[in-house]
Amino acid sequence: MRAGLVAVDLGGSTARMALFALDGATMLETARLELGQEIEPLQAISQVISVIEGWEQRAQMEIRSIVIGLAAVHDAAGTIVTWPNRPEWNGFAFRDTFAALAGKPVVLFDDANLAALGEYAFGLEHSVQHLLYTVVGTGIGSSLVWQGNVYTGARGASGELGHITVDPWGEKCPCGGFGCLQMYASGRAVERIAQAKGLSVAKASDVFHLAAAGNATAQAIVDDSLRMLAIGIANAVRLFDPDMVVVGGGMASRFPEHYRSLEKRVQQFLGTLPQQNVRVKLSALGDDAALWGGIAYGLQMFEKNKEMEGVRK
């Protein structure tokens, strides 16, 4: 029986999933689930597992592992510590609950870390030593890949670009801080700001469509969000000095004509610093980056297990 792996990218509003064959890293199935803001964690997990069980039956595969990228800070035990976009999930033992209900091993990543791994392994035209990956969707995250390894920090909570302060007198963020980048440059922020300014919009994409149609208010909102995002990325570049920055996530993949301006904006904020010509590219993998990160991690573990079996023999 063929061996497979499932990758899941669970964000603030959707779950994207893919089934991969471990032999050849082939993506066999994909699915997207809309998860409302009020959904409880057990409901979300049950919906994801239902899709996985259907895949396993149809493909006649043995799913060896489920690799999940979660848009939340979690501890080493896989318990959600804080999720500003889903605060009611805080304290939930996500990994153990998911593994118990699925009956399979579950590996839990920060979603930006998993997407960065996918981009590093499958998305770059030329390999680099130091990659800064930024994800812009419902929220904002980032990850640093350093010589092939994802930097996670002392507490596993690195990469929270969305929660750096860009306005010390700004609005309070659900994370408890003030003036966080996520409050000005994320998809949810664009939606909230537009509604506060009187635009009749239901989601951030409506604002971008209005901007493209020439609405001056929408154009100003989009421009301000990109300016704030460029400030955050430029500060991260100053700190880490990466070879390249890749920007992905739902907002960047749906509106590339706007987010392509980030390279010039970031370079302007860097002034005459040595990093002034840093390349800022849009993700080649788009919304699938975290899914490819799942198979990249799975292949690493598969090879390590084969090596260990060889050593034992």
pLDDT band at 52 (very low <50, low <70, confident <90, very high): very high
106, HSE (Cβ side, Cα atoms, 13 Å): 26
Say if residues 95 and 106 touch (Cβ distance below 8 Å).
yes
Distance CA 13, CA 266 (A): 28
pTM score: 0.85
Average pLDDT of the segment spanning 296-300: 86
**Class for the domain spanning 125-283:** alpha beta
pLDDT tens string 227-255: 999 999 999 999 999 999 999 988 999 99
Pick the CATH number of 2-111+288-312 from 3.40.50.300, 3.30.420.40, 1.20.1250.20, 3.30.450.40: 3.30.420.40
- Paired residues of 18 in beta bridges: 7, 30
Alpha-helix residue ranges (DSSP H) falling in 103-185: 111-118, 182-185
Q: Does the pLDDT at position 308 exceed 60?
A: no
Domain ranges of the chain: 2-111+288-312, 125-283
Average pLDDT of the segment spanning 165-172: 94
Give the max Cα distance, the chain. Answer: 69
pLDDT for residue 311: 45
Q: Do the first three CATH levels of 2-111+288-312 and 125-283 match, i.e. the same topology?
A: yes
pLDDT band at 264 (very low <50, low <70, confident <90, very high): very high
Query: Which single residue is written with the structure tokens 């995002």?
Result: 229
Query: Which single residue is written with the structure tokens 């030329």?
Result: 126
